[in-house]
Structure 1
Amino acid sequence: MADNVDADPFKNGTQVEVSLEDDNFWGPWYTATVIRPHFQEDPQNSSRVSHTHVREAVDPILVHPIPPHEARWQFNVREDVDAFHNDDWWEGIVITDLDGGRYSVFFRSSRKQIEFDESQLRLHREWVYGKWTKMWNFCLPFSIAFFGEL
């Protein structure tokens, strides 16, 4: 997997993914185009991006390059994935392998569970210090139950 897409993955005209801040849930990642990159001397400390005819200033931490394509044969239960749903990428976790290249994915942000074809999934990665990084799962096995009050 390539560490980064380009020497300058946020130059003007580059396709990126953007997440908009929302207090109620973790938002999806939208495809957008950089129309004015963030520079240190920018007093607003933001990049301008365009998404389906909407232009908006976005905090640089909410922008990352388009992740590199990774060929996958299958996903594992409890693996963090991004699922393409309603034209955006949503972070979730595989909870069931339904066979035939279909998976049930749980979304922590909405507390919903939806089935997807493997073609609608990608491994979840984080853009950290200019490189794509796999974040290790720290979730407990689903068989653990808590009794009594927490």
Structure 2
Amino acid sequence: MAGNVDASPFKKGTQVEVSLEDDGFRGSWYTATIVRPISKKPHKIHLEFHTLTSGDNSAKLLREAVDLILVRPIPPREVQQRFNVSEDVDALHKDGWWEGIVITALDDGHYSVFFQSSREQIEVDESQLRLHREWVYGKWTKMWNFRLPFSVSFFREL
């Protein structure tokens, strides 16, 4: 089933999100528009990013061919006013959506979010948060992440 990819949501002109594999970008998703649909081999899709540019001082938006496995539709937005501590979220940060976890609910709809990929903790407004979802077999799924109340290093000490 994994080799049978449904390409129907990935037509020219469609807005999507893309995960990048480069160092410093893992755990983040960036919006892009499909400029050329999927090529048969090697299953690449041609995109133009909305917030990433092609160079340090360039105003020209980045165009790139990426593996289809790194592309997903834009996630649905839920109407949620509050997020819970330990809840998996995506936070709008550095021009993309970064996978994180709510550490603290602060005053006035602000939250402290920790990004495991970069080991950063930042404060964000609830308008810059969404529930974390994964695109699995053509459907949006909430991934349940069971966290232990102590670090894994605790077991190494035993």
One-letter identity of the residue aligned with 1:43: K
Q: Gaps (5+ residues) in structure 2?
A: 1-6, 51-60
Deviation at 1:144, TM superposition (A): 8.9
Deviation at 1:143, TM superposition (A): 8.6
Deviation at 1:73, TM superposition (A): 1.4
One-letter identity of the residue aligned with 2:44: S
Tell me: higher relative CO, structure 1 or 2? Use CA pairs within 8 A at least 6 residues apart. 1
One-letter identity of the residue aligned with 1:16: V
Contact 2:24–2:118 (8 Å) recurs in 1: no
- TM-score under structure 1 normalisation? 0.85
| Aligned residue in 1 for 2:53 | none
Runs of 4+ in 1 over 6 A off after TM superposition: none
Is 1:11 the counterpart of 2:11? The answer is yes
- TM-score under structure 2 normalisation? 0.81
Deviation at 1:68, TM superposition (A): 1.0
Q: 1:79 to 1:37 in 2, by over 3 A?
A: same
Q: How many residues align?
A: 142
Q: Gaps (5+ residues) in structure 1?
A: 1-6
State the Cα RMSD in Å: 2.3
Is 1:47 the counterpart of 2:45? The answer is yes
| Aligned residue in 1 for 2:140 | 132
For 1:70 and 1:80, locate their aligned partners in 2 and report how far apart those are by CA, in whole Å.
14
For 1:8 and 1:135, locate their aligned partners in 2 and report how far apart those are by CA, in whole Å.
24
